[in-house]
Amino acid sequence: MASKCLCMIICLLLFFPQGVWARVQKEIPLVAKMPDRPQPLKARDWKQTAQAYDELVFDFSQEGPFLPLISWDLGSVNFQQKSFFLPSYVGDYRAQPGSQEAINLMAAVVGATLVGIDKSNQHGENWVLMLKEFYNDRNGLNLVLNNPSGNTGSLWYMVFPSMLFFMALDLYPELGGVETLSTSGEPLTMHEIAVRTAYRYLEMVESQEGFSFTGYDFMAQAPIELSWQIEADGAAGLAWLCYQAHRKLGDERFLEGAKKCLLYLTGLDKNPFYEVLLPYGVYSAARLNAEEGLEIDLHRLMRWCFQSSDVRKGWGVIADRWGDYDVHGLVGSRTDGGGYAFAMNSFQMVASLLPVVRYDPRYADTLGKWALQVVNNARLFYPDEIPSELQSNPLWLPFSQGVIAYEGLRKQEHEKTPYATGDAMKGQWASTNYALYGSSHVGFLGGLINVWDGKILQLDLLKTDFGAREAYPTYLYYNATEDEATITESGLLYDLVTKEFYADNEVTLAANEAAVLVVLPRDKGKVYRGNALVVDDVVVDYMANMVAFVSPQEGELVSGDLTLALDLVLQDNRIEEVVLHLDGKEIYQDRKLPQGSIDTTVFRNGSWHELEVWVTLQNGVRLTDTVRFQVNNPS
C-alpha cells in the first residue's frame, strides 16, 4: 500500500550546479519549542567560574565551615604515591580518604585543563598523575573505576571514569609514559593503564550479544541484571572508549567494537537514555560516519537525547519555565516533583554533543540554540544567581564564593519555584546540597565557550573533541539577537553550514542562526575527496555535500496530503540516483529529486512512519537523511 500512497511530481533538474543550492539544516522538535532568547538573559563568565572553582577546591589554606575541601589521601591503595581527596558534597558525612569519586576528581582535573589551567604543574603538584589511583590494580579488576577500591555494579558508573581517564591522557600526552610504582611493585604508565582498561572493555564488548543490563561483573564475566535499572546506553560510552582506543592503538578490533555498540543502540526499539552516556553515542556515530565512511543512524540517537527515556521514567532534556526563570535545555528528570535538573548532566551533555556539528553541520542551528539555553540557564544551579529563599543552603554562599553549584534545581520544593537543592540532605549523607561531583564538570562548559556577551555565542568545537584528527580552529557562532550580526575572524574563513569561503574575514549571520567557521591558512590548495573538503591534507569539512528533509520535519503531526520537500547542497557533483524509502520499503527511484505528496489517510490515525532518502552522486558518495512523522487524521 505504501507505494500506492505516494503521488510524485518529478523535479525537472537532472543535476545541480556547483555551489550552494540550499541552507541544509535539521530540526530537533523539543529545541524548536524553546524560546529564541531565554529569560532572564544574563551572560555569566563560565570560564572564570571554572577557574575560580579550581582555585577554591584545590586550596588547602581555605578556612570556614567544611573548609578546606581538599585533603591528601596517603592510603596508597593502588600506587606508591600520594593522591588527593575531594568530597562529593560539601559537608559529606561519608568523606574519608579512599571514598573519593573519579567522576568528581577526574572531572575537576579535566575541566580545569579545558579552561587553561595546567594541572600537571600546579602548586608544585602533578594532579594528573595522581589520577592513576583510580586504576584498580590491587583488587585484580585492572580497570579505571569510580573509587580506588571500586566495583562494577552500575554500567555508567563503571564506564564513565575510564572515559574521563582517556580525556586526561588526551590532554596530557606527554605524561603517558611516566612510570609510577603500583603497590604490587609494578611500574605502570598512564598509557599502559589506558591500554589495559581498553582491552578489558573490548573483551566484554566482544563477549556480549547486547548491553541491556545494569552492569557487568568482570570477575564472574557476566552481566549484572536488575529489571528496574537497565543501562543499555552504557553501550554509547563503550563505543566512545573503543573508538578512542582504536585511534590511539590502531587495533581494528576496537573499531569493530565501537560499531557493534552503536549498531546495538540504533537497533533498539526503546529510548535507552539513563544518565550521561547516550550523547557520547551520538558523537561517536558522527565520527565513525565521517571518518570511517559508515552510515550509523545518529539521527535516532540524537532524537532520543531530546525525548523522554523509556528505561528511566521522565529522564531527558527539560523544556519549561519554572516561576520567573526559563530552565529550557537543562538535563534531568521532567517528572520528579514536576521537574528536577542536574548540573553534572547539563554540563556533560553540552560537552559531548556540540562537537557533533564538526562532523554533521546539519545540526548547527538547533544545537546552537540549545547550547544557548544551557549556557544561560545553568547559572541557576549557583547560589549567587538565585534569591536566598529559592535555595536550600543560602548561609554557605559566602564560603562557596559563588563557584560551587547545588546538585540540582527542582521545579518546586517548600512551595518555592524553582528551588536549588539536592539529594544529600534528604538522604542524610551530607550537611548541604552543594555538590562537588557536579560542579567539577563546569570546565567542560567553560572550556567550550570562547565568547559569550549575551548576544553572540561562540563555542570552540575542538575543545571537547577528544582524540580528534588534526584540524584547523573551528567555532560555532550562534546569533542570539533579533537582528543580523557581523562576525569578524582573522584568516580565511569557511562556513560548514553554507559551504562558502569568506576572504574578507566578515560573515553576516541572520538572527537565530548559526555559522560553523573554520579558520584556514591562506594560499593553500583545496581539494574534494569523496564527501570531504581537504586543505593542505587536513579535512576541513566531512560533509561537503548534504541533504535533509524540509517537509516533513522531525516529529511533525501530519494529515491529508503530506507535501515532500528536500534541501540539498552540492559541490561539483551530479546526482546519479535518488531512492526514497517509506517504513523501509522503496517507493521512489530516479535520477531526479522527488517533489510531491503522500496521502496519509491510508495510515492508521496516531501511527508513526519513517522516510529515508538516499542521494548517490556520480563520484560514488551517498548522502542520506531520515525523518519520522505521526499521522493525525481524526475520523
List, for residues 303-357, the tens digit of each pLDDT value.
Answer: 999 999 999 999 999 999 999 999 999 999 999 999 999 999 999 999 999 999 9
Q: Is residue 593 part of a domain?
A: yes
Q: Is residue 456 part of a domain?
A: no
Residues of the chain with pLDDT > 70: what percent? Answer: 97
Q: Report how many domains make up the chain.
A: 2
Q: Could you give the C-alpha distances from 107 to 348, 438, 498, 598, in angstroms and in order? A: 10, 9, 36, 50
- Same domain (yes/no): 165, 17: no
5 — pLDDT class (breaks 50, 70, 90): very low
Q: Is residue 191 part of a domain?
A: yes
- Same domain (yes/no): 12, 152: no
pLDDT at 532 over 50: yes
CB atoms within 10 A of CB 614: 17
Among 303, 320, 344, where does a domain finish?
A: 303
Average pLDDT over residues 267-273: 97
Q: Where in the sequence is the domain holding 584, given as residue range(s)?
A: 2-22+546-631
Q: Is residue 232 part of a domain?
A: yes
DSSP, residue by residue, 515-542 = EEEEEEPTT--EEEETTEEEETTEEEES
Q: Which amino acid is at 386?
A: I
CB atoms within 10 A of CB 127: 24
Q: Could you give the C-alpha distances from 277 to 124, 153, 231, 381, 425, in angstroms and in order? A: 34, 16, 9, 21, 27
Q: Is residue 299 part of a domain?
A: yes
- Same domain (yes/no): 13, 157: no
Residue 305: exposed, middle, or buried by beta-carbon count in 10 A (0-12, 13-18, 19+)? buried
Round to whole Å and give the CA distance between 138 and 540.
45
The three grid cell numbers given for residue 310, joined into one nine-digit string: 523509556
Angle at 628 between CA 623 and CA 631, to 5 degrees: 145
CATH of the domain at 551: 2.60.40.10
Q: Is residue 249 part of a domain?
A: yes
Omega before 65 cis (within 30°)? no
The residues, ordered by sequence, that sit 6+ positions from 511 with a Cβ below 8 Å of its Cβ are: 36, 479, 481, 482, 483, 484, 485
> Which 3 state secondary structure label does DSSP give 195?
helix
Cβ pair 631, 605 in contact under 8 A: yes
Among 256, 277, 303, where does a domain finish?
A: 303
For 17-72, write each residue's pLDDT tens digit. Answer: 333 357 899 999 999 999 999 999 999 999 999 999 999 999 999 999 999 999 99
Among 252, 283, 303, where does a domain finish?
A: 303
Q: Is residue 588 part of a domain?
A: yes
According to the model, what pLDDT value does residue 4 have? 39
Q: Is residue 254 part of a domain?
A: yes
Which phi and psi angles does 438 have, rounded to 5°?
-90, -45
Cβ pair 288, 301 in contact under 8 A: no
Omega before 552 cis (within 30°)? yes
175: left (phi over 0), alpha (psi -120 to 50) or beta: alpha
